[in-house]
Each structure stands twice: as C-alpha cells, then as structure tokens.
A and B are shown apart, each in its own frame.
Chain A
Amino acid sequence: ETGVTQSPTHLIKTRGQQVTLRCSSQSGHNTVSWYQQALGQGPQFIFQYYREEENGRGNFPPRFSGLQFPNYSSELNVNALELDDSALYLCASSPATGSAGGNEQFFGPGTRLTVL
C-alpha cells in the first residue's frame, strides 16, 4: 500500500510568483487536507477536499486555492507569493466520509517552499 506522497520536495520561488504543490493520497482515501507549517510551529489548516469539493477552509486568503481530482490526488496553488508563505506544506489524506472527525489523517513528507 502506497502512502501519501508529495512533490516537489523543495521549491524556491521569488515574491509575486505562483506555485503549485502536488499530493497523491493513500490508496482508498477520498479526503485530502492541506496544512502550512512555519519553522518551529504547529501546522495550520488551509483547507480540505472531499470528493473534489472544498469541504472546509482555514484562515487563509483566496490566493491559496486547491483542486482535487477524480483519483483523489490534489493540488495546492498559491498566487502572488509573499515572504511569509515560506513554510513546509503538508498534505494529509484520510478515508473519511465527509467530515467524520475520528478518522486518522495520514501525512505526506511535505514540500518545503522558500520565497525570496
């Protein structure tokens, strides 16, 4: 069984650019959540996708957007990058049916984004 994978591993961008991060969920999982983890901090929830629809969003501006595909893989897009967007971006998948709170979220290794 393949776990959650993310690409790329590392990325360097400049202020104002746009970036797309990718996540492949674990087999059988239909829900994907994205988190931003600043250095030395706990992850912050960005949004969640369930069956290709956004199913909850944290306190992030609209320039953070996402997609989920029919195979349940997902993308996180960030437009107009700012220096504060530098962080580890984590993707987590779960077999949740909708918003079932107790289902475990399985995390990927993350993408380290640096904005210069």
Chain B
Amino acid sequence: AQTVTQSQPEMSVQEAETVTLSCTYDTSESDYYLFWYKQPPSRQMILVIRQEAYKQQNATENRFSVNFQKAAKSFSLKISDSQLGDAAMYFCAYRSASTGKLIFGQGTTLQVKP
C-alpha cells in the first residue's frame, strides 16, 4: 500500500523569506502523480502544484516549486518570497495513475511571520 509522510508538523518562515516543506512517500508503482494542497483555516483545500512521476523536470508555479527525487521517493515544496496569505496547512498527496484515490500526508502547518 502507498503511504505519504510529512515529518514536519509545523514550520514557520519570515515574510519574504524562503521555506521548504518536506514529504516522502512509499510506492511500488512506477506511474503516479504527486500533489501539494493548501488548506487555509476554515477555507477550502486548493491545489498548489502537481508533478507527474514520468517527468524529470521539477514543476513550478510562480513562487512555488518542487524538488522531486523519484529514486529517493521525496517530494518537497519550496515557497519563495513567502507572503502572509501563504499561512495554511499544507498537504502532500499521492495518486496512482490507475485510480482516483488521493492519499494524503498528515500535513504541515505553515506560519508566516510579518
């Protein structure tokens, strides 16, 4: 069975600085997708960034980028130029190419200090 682990329950960053959130996963599959979702307090979960396992190039979305290390089964999220609005719970998630089931990690709460 696939598992996703986020080992940092809480992280904090100064506004305008850079922070990296860690995620590792375990799978025996070769074709899958990885996601980072953001869940602000009492607000909807939204997709931050997505990575296809067959792509070697790391995904980027504006200030958000990932470091995808397939052999090490690691998928970290880097947030550059952190903003107050980035404060939220961040979830790493895995999805097999053959199913619609998302498997989430335990989440990392990110605090952004002004």
Contact = CB atoms under 8 A, between A and B. Distances in A.
Contacts of B91: 42-43
A58 interface: yes
Contact of B100 (A42, A56, A90, A109): A56
B107 A42 contact: yes
B78 interface: no
Most buried by A among B96, B102, B106: B102
Interface stretch (B13-21, B43-51, B64-72, B79-87): B43-51
A100 B44 CA distance: 23
A58 B106 CA distance: 17
B104 A108 contact: no
Given A101-B33, A101-B95, A102-B33, A45 B101 contact: yes
Contacts of B37: 107
Interface of A: 3, 31, 33, 35, 40-45, 48, 50, 55-56, 58, 90, 92, 94, 96, 98-110
8 contacts: A42-B93, A42-B106, A48-B101, A56-B99, A96-B100, A101-B32, A101-B33, A107-B45
